[in-house]
Amino acid sequence: MVQRRLYLDWNATAPVLPQVRQAVVRAFEEAPGNASSIHREGQAARAIIERARRSVARAVGAPAQAVVFSGGATESNNQVLHHHVATTDEPFVICSAVEHPSVIEVVDKLDGQGVGTARWPVDEQGRLDLQWLDDQLAQGATLVSVMWANNEMGNIFDVAAIAEKVHQAGALLHVDGTQALGRIDVDFQAAGVDYLTLSFHKMGGPKGVGATIVREGLKVSALMAGGHQERGRRPGTENVPIIAGVDAAATELVKNLPDWQLALTKRKELFVDTLRSAVPQLELRGAPEHQLPNTVNVAFPGVDGEDLLLALDLEGISASSGSACTAGSLEPSHVILAMGFEEKRARESLRFSFGPTTPLDELGHGAQRIAELVGRLRRLEAEI
């Protein structure tokens, strides 16, 4: 009998919701036209895109006209950062030290081009110091880029408090909400965000599509030339079936978020409690009082994370050591390093992330299997 695998890497990508799969297939069949065409088939495609725009807006508390579809949060992050630098006199961009590579690498590139930048440090629990932000804003920062929730630690940042400080200083706030979507409440207008960037595949939507949400009165420029789509903000023929999948994902989010949150909290409690009782010298990383209900970052002292990942995969458990966008890198997680851990200890970190439909019994058994593998690896290390 083939053993069923336990997928604990939802922060890399989530299994597609059945409603999303159905919506994508239906759009292929029912809307074959180009959404820029004026005939009936084209208008059917256009209707799907505009319905999805309204659904996304409703899911994140934004006006529909603020939603610009993109190829994913990486593209949207690039779009916001490059637009700001291109349209601002003496730009000064801040990003946190634990941002996704699609923000950090862009900011580093801008720094190399002579743009003023600063990297917002975190403490040993991955928390941001708001006093540091005050100091940088006083020095003329023009844009602050921070994620709503961290993809590796699961730490949730106080976006509303950050927005208040940023706006008092006359600066703008860009927030990457990708990992928060479907796990906690994301309210664009209530939080006071200027630019919100999203992908939908972490919460059961399709891959290869995202959105840039732009506050009224602000603009965002297209990264490429060659078309008028998205009111000139993102050229190229729209991927209508995939955007139909976004509509379905956003609709399910609005309908189910409270139930998803309860299910995730229950699963996290079970997983953490089981690990704690079964594994000596376990180290949970991050700020537990402000973390996503689906994310656990844990270190097993004395066990190399890469060795444990390989052993888990052979046992039928999928996890990760950090962002999927840096998978294959020989370097330890930049997030863990930013928290002050030296390389050896940083390499001990693993990330386990799950969804509201992860079977509870399998999650408990999985935690026990993880504990057994940790014990086995520790014994092998002791024998060397």
Distance CA 43, CA 30 (A): 11
Identify the band that residue 3 occupies on the pLDDT scale cut at 50, 70 and 90: low
- Statement: residue 1 has pLDDT above 70: no
Q: Which phi-psi region, left, alpha or beta, contains residue 140 (left: φ > 0; alpha: ψ -120 to 50)?
A: left
Residues 6+ apart with CB under 8 A from 308: 300, 350, 370, 373, 374, 377
Mean pLDDT, residues 346-356 taken together: 96
Identify the band that residue 381 occupies on the pLDDT scale cut at 50, 70 and 90: confident
Residue-wise pLDDT tens digits, 61-104? 999 999 999 999 999 999 999 999 999 999 999 999 999 999 99
- pTM, two decimals, is 0.95
Q: Which residue has the tokens 């509201």?
A: 356
Query: Where do the structural domains in the chain lie, given as residue ranges?
Result: 6-15+257-383, 18-252
Residues 6+ apart with CB under 8 A from 267: 294, 354, 356, 358, 360, 363
The predicted pLDDT at position 330 comes to 56
Exactly one of 325, 327, 360, 380 is catalytic; name it.
Answer: 325
Token pair for residue 370?
Answer: 């993880």
Mean pLDDT, residues 257-279 taken together: 98
3-state helix, strand, coil in the chain (%, to 5): 45, 15, 40
Query: Does the fold of domain 18-252 match that of domain 6-15+257-383?
Result: no
Q: Which CATH architecture best describes the domain 18-252?
A: 3-Layer(aba) Sandwich (3.40)
Token pair for residue 62?
Answer: 């934004």
Distance CA 53, CA 199 (A): 14
- 325 an active-site residue? yes
Of residues 81, 85, 146, 80, the one with CA closest to residue 114: 85
The predicted pLDDT at position 32 comes to 93
| Percent of the chain with pLDDT strictly greater than 90 | 92
State residue 380 phi and psi, 5-degree precision.
-65, -40
**CATH number belonging to domain 6-15+257-383:** 3.90.1150.10
CA dihedral 97, 99, 104, 106 (to 10 degrees): -150
